[in-house]
A and B are shown apart, each in its own frame.
Chain A
Amino acid sequence: GAGVSQSPSNKVTEKGKDVELRCDPISGHTALYWYRQSLGQGLEFLIYFQGNSAPDKSGLPSDRFSAERTGGSVSTLTIQRTQQEDSAVYLCASSLRPTGTMEMNTEAFFGQGTRLTVV
């Protein structure tokens, strides 16, 4: 596709239920990131995938959060036993090369996000 695609765009779930959020990165982008944007706060890093390397999970807030990236492309962020404090916009981004390097093509392109509301 032309850009990073996320689905669903909106999700309302009951407290205690599990949810899955999907991200389709730009074709050929090796780096994929998940961020969370809570109301009135900046974007909070959750997890980073780079090629076939082990993901950087250092931003995941609890063991209820997990993510996988199949075949180096599509990624799914799973939140188990959702809590009200999980309500936020979950953003996915991809880049041809990892941000933070001095190489070219490191710009991160963001999807429009999934707005999760836990009631």
Chain B
Amino acid sequence: GDSVTQMEGPVTLSEEAFLTINCTYTATGYPSLFWYVQYPGEGLQLLLKATKADDKGSNKGFEATYRKETTSFHLEKGSVQVSDSAVYFCALVDTGRRALTFGSGTRLQVQP
């Protein structure tokens, strides 16, 4: 079945540091890939998505590229801020499915 694997957290960075959160997936079809973010006390929000190979999703300075050859969708940001502290979830929807399959989440803590 479908699955998503994320690097375990917490990831602790200083402000303005470079961020990478690794995500790899297993799917039988041609999935769409997503990153969701959960800020403290808030619900999950879509951060970015990519629907086919080599697509790059971007939002709020975050980027992720759909790499079919490595089945990966790593999240990156060049310079993190304290306000980026949150839990980040990688997810996919496989062809013909309707529900999202999520990874276990990675907590990011950015220190001033």
Contact = CB atoms under 8 A, between A and B. Distances in A.
Binding site secondary structure of chain B: loop
Contact of A42 (B43, B97, B104): B104
Contacts of B89: 42-43
Interface string B79-112: 0000000000101011111111111110000000
Nearest to B98: A98
B46 interface: yes
Given A4-B43, A42-B4, A56 B102 contact: no
A42 B99 contact: no
Contacts, number: 63
Interface string A66-108: 0000000000000000000000000101000011101000011
Contact of A100 (B32, B104, B105): B32
B51 interface: yes
Contacts of B97: 100
B17 interface: no
Which of A31, A44, A45 has the most chain B CB atoms closer than 10 A to its own CB? A45
A62 interface: no
Interface residues of A, number: 28
Interface string A44-75: 11001010000010010000000000000000
Contact of B94 (A4, A43, A100): A100
Interface size class of B (residues with CB under 8 A): 20 to 34
A117 interface: no
A111 interface: yes
Interface of A: 3-4, 31, 33, 35, 40-45, 48, 50, 56, 59, 91, 93, 98-100, 102, 107-113
B42 A112 contact: yes
Given A40-B104, A41-B104, A42-B105, A99 B98 contact: yes
A109 B44 CA distance: 7
Contacts of B4: 42
B45 interface: yes
19 contacts: A33-B98, A33-B100, A40-B104, A42-B89, A42-B105, A43-B44, A45-B99, A48-B98, A93-B44, A99-B32, A99-B98, A99-B99, A100-B95, A100-B99, A108-B100, A109-B43, A110-B43, A112-B41, A112-B43
